Amino acid sequence: MPFVTALPKFSFSGATLAFGQKPILRNISFDIPAGQFTCIIGASGCGKTTALRLAAGLYQPTQGAVLFDGEPMSAPRADVAIVFQDYGKALLPWRTAFGNVSLAMEAGGVPKAGRADRIEELLALVGLAGQGGKYPTEMSGGMQQRLQIARCLAQNPSVLLMDEPFGALDAMTRQGLQDEVLELVARTQTTVIFVTHDLEEAIYLGDRVIGLLPHPGRVGIDVPVNLPRPRDQLATREEPEFLRLRRELFDFIKGSEA
Ligand SMILES: Nc1ncnc2c1ncn2[C@@H]1O[C@H](COP(=O)(O)OP(=O)(O)OP(=O)(O)O)[C@@H](O)[C@H]1O
Protein backbone atom coordinates (compact mmCIF):
# COMPACT_ATOMS: atom_id res chain seq x y z
CA MET A 1 0.00 0.00 0.00
CA PRO A 2 1.39 3.47 -0.85
CA PHE A 3 2.37 5.71 2.04
CA VAL A 4 -0.25 8.45 2.27
CA THR A 5 0.29 11.68 4.21
CA ALA A 6 -2.54 14.11 4.87
CA LEU A 7 -2.26 17.32 2.89
CA PRO A 8 -1.76 20.35 5.15
CA LYS A 9 -4.72 22.76 5.27
CA PHE A 10 -2.34 25.65 4.62
CA SER A 11 1.13 25.58 3.24
CA PHE A 12 3.12 28.82 3.26
CA SER A 13 6.05 28.14 0.99
CA GLY A 14 8.62 30.93 0.84
CA ALA A 15 5.80 33.49 0.83
CA THR A 16 7.17 36.98 0.35
CA LEU A 17 5.15 40.17 0.06
CA ALA A 18 6.09 43.74 -0.71
CA PHE A 19 3.87 46.79 -0.99
CA GLY A 20 5.58 48.78 -3.74
CA GLN A 21 9.26 48.90 -2.73
CA LYS A 22 8.49 48.14 0.91
CA PRO A 23 9.16 44.50 1.94
CA ILE A 24 6.51 43.43 4.48
CA LEU A 25 6.92 39.65 4.71
CA ARG A 26 9.97 37.62 3.67
CA ASN A 27 10.23 33.94 2.93
CA ILE A 28 7.46 32.77 5.25
CA SER A 29 7.34 28.96 5.31
CA PHE A 30 5.19 26.73 7.48
CA ASP A 31 2.48 24.10 7.12
CA ILE A 32 -0.72 24.10 9.13
CA PRO A 33 -2.40 20.71 9.45
CA ALA A 34 -6.20 20.49 9.39
CA GLY A 35 -7.70 20.97 12.84
CA GLN A 36 -4.70 22.75 14.31
CA PHE A 37 -5.14 25.92 16.38
CA THR A 38 -2.20 28.12 15.40
CA CYS A 39 -1.53 31.47 17.05
CA ILE A 40 0.60 34.17 15.46
CA ILE A 41 2.33 36.69 17.69
CA GLY A 42 4.87 39.42 17.10
CA ALA A 43 5.67 43.06 17.78
CA SER A 44 3.33 45.73 16.44
CA GLY A 45 3.70 46.21 12.70
CA CYS A 46 5.66 42.98 12.09
CA GLY A 47 3.12 41.73 9.55
CA LYS A 48 0.70 39.49 11.47
CA THR A 49 -2.41 40.90 9.82
CA THR A 50 -0.73 40.80 6.43
CA ALA A 51 0.13 37.10 6.91
CA LEU A 52 -3.51 36.42 7.84
CA ARG A 53 -4.67 38.29 4.74
CA LEU A 54 -2.41 36.07 2.63
CA ALA A 55 -4.07 33.02 4.21
CA ALA A 56 -7.47 34.54 3.43
CA GLY A 57 -6.61 35.03 -0.25
CA LEU A 58 -7.05 38.80 0.17
CA TYR A 59 -3.40 39.38 -0.79
CA GLN A 60 -1.21 37.41 -3.14
CA PRO A 61 2.47 36.78 -2.39
CA THR A 62 4.93 38.64 -4.58
CA GLN A 63 7.12 35.51 -4.45
CA GLY A 64 6.56 32.01 -3.15
CA ALA A 65 3.13 30.54 -2.54
CA VAL A 66 0.30 30.11 -0.07
CA LEU A 67 -1.51 26.83 -0.68
CA PHE A 68 -4.89 25.79 0.68
CA ASP A 69 -5.56 22.06 0.46
CA GLY A 70 -2.63 21.95 -1.95
CA GLU A 71 -3.98 24.63 -4.32
CA PRO A 72 -2.90 28.28 -4.54
CA MET A 73 -5.07 30.53 -2.38
CA SER A 74 -5.82 32.87 -5.24
CA ALA A 75 -9.03 34.49 -3.91
CA PRO A 76 -11.20 34.54 -0.77
CA ARG A 77 -13.32 31.41 -0.28
CA ALA A 78 -16.62 30.89 1.53
CA ASP A 79 -15.20 28.05 3.64
CA VAL A 80 -12.48 30.31 5.05
CA ALA A 81 -14.10 32.86 7.37
CA ILE A 82 -12.45 35.92 8.94
CA VAL A 83 -13.29 37.36 12.35
CA PHE A 84 -12.06 40.94 12.69
CA GLN A 85 -11.17 42.86 15.82
CA ASP A 86 -13.47 45.68 14.86
CA TYR A 87 -16.85 44.01 15.28
CA GLY A 88 -18.56 47.41 15.09
CA LYS A 89 -17.50 47.74 11.46
CA ALA A 90 -17.94 44.07 10.60
CA LEU A 91 -21.67 44.03 11.48
CA LEU A 92 -24.47 45.75 9.59
CA PRO A 93 -26.11 48.21 12.02
CA TRP A 94 -29.43 48.26 10.14
CA ARG A 95 -29.86 44.51 10.44
CA THR A 96 -30.83 42.66 13.60
CA ALA A 97 -28.61 39.93 15.02
CA PHE A 98 -30.80 37.45 13.15
CA GLY A 99 -30.45 39.48 9.94
CA ASN A 100 -26.69 39.73 10.29
CA VAL A 101 -26.30 35.95 10.53
CA SER A 102 -28.81 35.51 7.73
CA LEU A 103 -26.62 37.65 5.48
CA ALA A 104 -23.87 35.04 5.33
CA MET A 105 -26.45 32.43 4.32
CA GLU A 106 -28.06 34.66 1.72
CA ALA A 107 -24.61 35.27 0.22
CA GLY A 108 -23.99 31.52 0.27
CA GLY A 109 -27.29 30.82 -1.52
CA VAL A 110 -28.89 28.88 1.37
CA PRO A 111 -32.65 28.60 0.62
CA LYS A 112 -34.86 30.74 2.86
CA ALA A 113 -36.79 27.76 4.22
CA GLY A 114 -33.78 26.27 5.96
CA ARG A 115 -32.34 29.50 7.32
CA ALA A 116 -34.36 30.40 10.45
CA ASP A 117 -33.70 27.20 12.40
CA ARG A 118 -30.02 27.26 11.55
CA ILE A 119 -29.72 30.92 12.57
CA GLU A 120 -31.34 30.22 15.95
CA GLU A 121 -28.99 27.28 16.38
CA LEU A 122 -25.93 29.40 15.61
CA LEU A 123 -27.06 32.22 17.91
CA ALA A 124 -27.51 29.66 20.69
CA LEU A 125 -24.09 28.16 19.94
CA VAL A 126 -22.40 31.51 20.66
CA GLY A 127 -24.53 32.26 23.72
CA LEU A 128 -27.02 34.59 22.05
CA ALA A 129 -30.15 32.44 22.29
CA GLY A 130 -33.26 34.62 22.18
CA GLN A 131 -31.26 37.75 21.19
CA GLY A 132 -31.94 37.56 17.45
CA GLY A 133 -34.23 40.60 17.43
CA LYS A 134 -31.60 42.96 18.85
CA TYR A 135 -29.66 45.41 16.71
CA PRO A 136 -25.84 45.48 17.09
CA THR A 137 -25.99 48.90 18.81
CA GLU A 138 -28.23 47.37 21.49
CA MET A 139 -25.57 44.77 22.28
CA SER A 140 -22.39 44.89 24.40
CA GLY A 141 -18.98 44.53 22.75
CA GLY A 142 -18.78 40.89 23.81
CA MET A 143 -22.22 40.15 22.36
CA GLN A 144 -21.34 41.87 19.09
CA GLN A 145 -18.17 39.82 18.82
CA ARG A 146 -20.18 36.64 19.48
CA LEU A 147 -22.54 37.73 16.74
CA GLN A 148 -19.68 38.21 14.30
CA ILE A 149 -18.48 34.69 15.13
CA ALA A 150 -22.01 33.30 14.58
CA ARG A 151 -22.12 35.04 11.22
CA CYS A 152 -18.80 33.48 10.25
CA LEU A 153 -20.01 30.03 11.34
CA ALA A 154 -23.05 30.45 9.09
CA GLN A 155 -20.62 30.09 6.19
CA ASN A 156 -19.86 26.55 7.44
CA PRO A 157 -16.16 27.33 7.34
CA SER A 158 -13.49 24.69 7.61
CA VAL A 159 -11.12 27.48 8.66
CA LEU A 160 -11.51 30.46 10.98
CA LEU A 161 -8.99 33.27 10.60
CA MET A 162 -9.16 35.51 13.65
CA ASP A 163 -7.42 38.89 13.77
CA GLU A 164 -7.12 40.09 17.38
CA PRO A 165 -10.80 39.24 17.81
CA PHE A 166 -10.89 39.95 21.55
CA GLY A 167 -8.46 42.87 21.60
CA ALA A 168 -11.14 45.47 22.31
CA LEU A 169 -12.89 43.54 25.09
CA ASP A 170 -12.46 43.69 28.87
CA ALA A 171 -10.50 40.89 30.56
CA MET A 172 -13.46 38.89 31.88
CA THR A 173 -15.42 38.98 28.62
CA ARG A 174 -12.25 38.08 26.79
CA GLN A 175 -11.62 34.99 28.93
CA GLY A 176 -15.23 33.87 28.51
CA LEU A 177 -15.00 34.17 24.74
CA GLN A 178 -11.65 32.37 24.67
CA ASP A 179 -13.29 29.38 26.31
CA GLU A 180 -16.31 29.54 24.00
CA VAL A 181 -14.08 29.55 20.95
CA LEU A 182 -12.10 26.59 22.29
CA GLU A 183 -15.29 24.61 22.91
CA LEU A 184 -16.66 25.49 19.52
CA VAL A 185 -13.46 24.54 17.72
CA ALA A 186 -13.22 21.24 19.62
CA ARG A 187 -16.79 20.43 18.56
CA THR A 188 -16.45 21.48 14.92
CA GLN A 189 -12.80 20.45 14.27
CA THR A 190 -12.23 23.83 12.65
CA THR A 191 -8.71 24.86 11.70
CA VAL A 192 -7.87 28.22 13.29
CA ILE A 193 -5.21 30.83 12.67
CA PHE A 194 -5.43 33.38 15.47
CA VAL A 195 -3.47 36.63 15.53
CA THR A 196 -2.91 38.23 18.91
CA HIS A 197 -0.62 40.66 20.74
CA ASP A 198 -1.27 38.80 23.95
CA LEU A 199 1.29 36.06 24.60
CA GLU A 200 -0.77 34.43 27.34
CA GLU A 201 -3.81 34.33 25.08
CA ALA A 202 -1.72 32.66 22.37
CA ILE A 203 -0.46 29.96 24.75
CA TYR A 204 -3.85 29.45 26.38
CA LEU A 205 -5.60 28.89 23.05
CA GLY A 206 -3.03 27.39 20.75
CA ASP A 207 -1.68 24.01 19.77
CA ARG A 208 1.24 25.99 18.43
CA VAL A 209 2.58 29.56 18.51
CA ILE A 210 4.44 31.14 15.60
CA GLY A 211 6.29 34.38 16.33
CA LEU A 212 7.19 36.84 13.57
CA LEU A 213 10.27 39.04 13.57
CA PRO A 214 9.80 42.55 12.15
CA HIS A 215 11.25 44.52 9.18
CA PRO A 216 10.50 42.54 7.15
CA GLY A 217 8.19 40.06 8.82
CA ARG A 218 9.68 36.56 8.98
CA VAL A 219 9.24 33.51 11.15
CA GLY A 220 11.46 33.82 14.23
CA ILE A 221 10.03 31.14 16.48
CA ASP A 222 7.61 28.24 16.05
CA VAL A 223 6.79 26.31 19.22
CA PRO A 224 4.30 23.57 20.06
CA VAL A 225 2.05 24.13 23.08
CA ASN A 226 2.03 20.85 24.97
CA LEU A 227 -0.67 21.68 27.50
CA PRO A 228 -3.59 19.36 28.15
CA ARG A 229 -7.10 20.12 26.87
CA PRO A 230 -9.65 21.14 27.85
CA ARG A 231 -7.81 24.21 29.04
CA ASP A 232 -8.77 25.93 32.26
CA GLN A 233 -8.38 29.66 32.88
CA LEU A 234 -6.78 29.13 36.30
CA ALA A 235 -5.13 25.70 36.22
CA THR A 236 -3.67 25.97 32.69
CA ARG A 237 -2.16 29.37 33.38
CA GLU A 238 -0.45 27.98 36.50
CA GLU A 239 1.14 25.00 34.73
CA PRO A 240 4.96 25.09 34.72
CA GLU A 241 4.88 24.53 30.93
CA PHE A 242 2.60 27.57 30.50
CA LEU A 243 5.01 29.72 32.52
CA ARG A 244 8.01 28.35 30.63
CA LEU A 245 6.41 29.16 27.28
CA ARG A 246 5.39 32.61 28.49
CA ARG A 247 9.02 33.33 29.38
CA GLU A 248 10.29 31.94 26.06
CA LEU A 249 7.85 34.05 24.01
CA PHE A 250 8.39 37.13 26.16
CA ASP A 251 12.15 36.85 25.57
CA PHE A 252 11.49 36.39 21.87
CA ILE A 253 9.39 39.57 21.63
CA LYS A 254 11.86 41.58 23.71
CA GLY A 255 14.73 40.34 21.54
CA SER A 256 12.84 41.10 18.35
CA GLU A 257 12.32 44.72 19.39
CA ALA A 258 15.94 45.25 20.37
N1 LIG B 1 -1.99 48.07 2.22
C2 LIG B 1 -0.79 48.41 2.69
N3 LIG B 1 0.04 49.19 1.99
C4 LIG B 1 1.28 49.52 2.46
N5 LIG B 1 1.77 49.10 3.63
C6 LIG B 1 0.98 48.31 4.38
C7 LIG B 1 -0.35 47.93 3.97
N8 LIG B 1 -0.87 47.13 4.93
C9 LIG B 1 0.06 47.04 5.90
N10 LIG B 1 1.16 47.74 5.57
C11 LIG B 1 2.40 47.84 6.37
O12 LIG B 1 2.82 46.49 6.59
C13 LIG B 1 3.43 46.37 7.86
C14 LIG B 1 2.78 45.22 8.59
O15 LIG B 1 1.44 45.58 8.93
P16 LIG B 1 0.45 44.55 9.66
O17 LIG B 1 -0.83 45.28 9.90
O18 LIG B 1 0.40 43.29 8.91
O19 LIG B 1 1.23 44.32 11.03
P20 LIG B 1 0.70 43.72 12.39
O21 LIG B 1 1.80 42.88 12.93
O22 LIG B 1 -0.61 43.07 12.20
O23 LIG B 1 0.54 45.04 13.25
P24 LIG B 1 -0.34 45.34 14.56
O25 LIG B 1 0.09 44.34 15.59
O26 LIG B 1 0.05 46.74 14.94
O27 LIG B 1 -1.77 45.21 14.16
C28 LIG B 1 3.28 47.73 8.55
O29 LIG B 1 4.50 48.41 8.41
C30 LIG B 1 2.19 48.40 7.75
O31 LIG B 1 2.39 49.80 7.77
Q: Is residue 105 domain-resident?
A: yes
Residue 194 belongs to a domain with what CATH number? 3.40.50.300
**pTM over cut 0.90:** yes
Q: Whose alpha carbon is nearest atom 18 of ligand 1? A: 47
Q: Is residue 35 domain-resident?
A: yes
CA of 38 to the centre of ligand 1 (A): 20
Note the pLDDT of residue 4. 62
Q: Is residue 2 domain-resident?
A: no
DSSP code string of 166-180: TTTS-HHHHHHHHHH
**Distance from C-alpha of 207 to C-alpha of 224, rounded to nearest angstrom:** 6
ipTM: 0.95
Q: Clarify whether residues 128 and 245 are in a common domain.
A: no
Q: Clarify whether residues 94 and 117 are in a common domain.
A: yes
Closest listed residue to residue 132, CA positions, set 114, 146, 111? 146
**Distance from C-alpha of 40 to C-alpha of 37, rounded to nearest angstrom:** 10
Range of the domain at 167: 10-79+159-257
Q: Clarify whether residues 165 and 105 are in a common domain.
A: no
Closest listed residue to residue 194, CA positions, set 186, 182, 115? 182
Q: Whose alpha carbon is nearest atom 6 of ligand 1? A: 19
Instruction: Decide: 206 in ligand 1 pocket, CB within 6 A.
Output: no
**Distance from C-alpha of 126 to C-alpha of 111, rounded to nearest angstrom:** 23
Instruction: Decide: 85 in ligand 1 pocket, CB within 6 A.
Output: no
What does the longest C-alpha to C-alpha distance in the chain come to?
59
Check the CA dihedral 78-99-184-54 and report its sign. positive
Q: Clarify whether residues 74 and 171 are in a common domain.
A: yes
Closest listed residue to residue 35, CA positions, set 146, 186, 256? 186
- Of 16, 48, 161, the one to substitute when testing ligand 1's pocket (max ligand atoms within 8 A of C-beta) is 48
Q: Is residue 44 domain-resident?
A: yes
Q: How confident is the model over 68-112, as pLDDT tens digits?
A: 999 999 999 989 999 988 888 889 999 999 999 999 888 888 888
Counting the structural domains of the chain, the total is: 2
Instruction: Decide: 178 in ligand 1 pocket, CB within 6 A.
Output: no
pLDDT-based confidence at residue 1 (cuts at 50, 70, 90): low
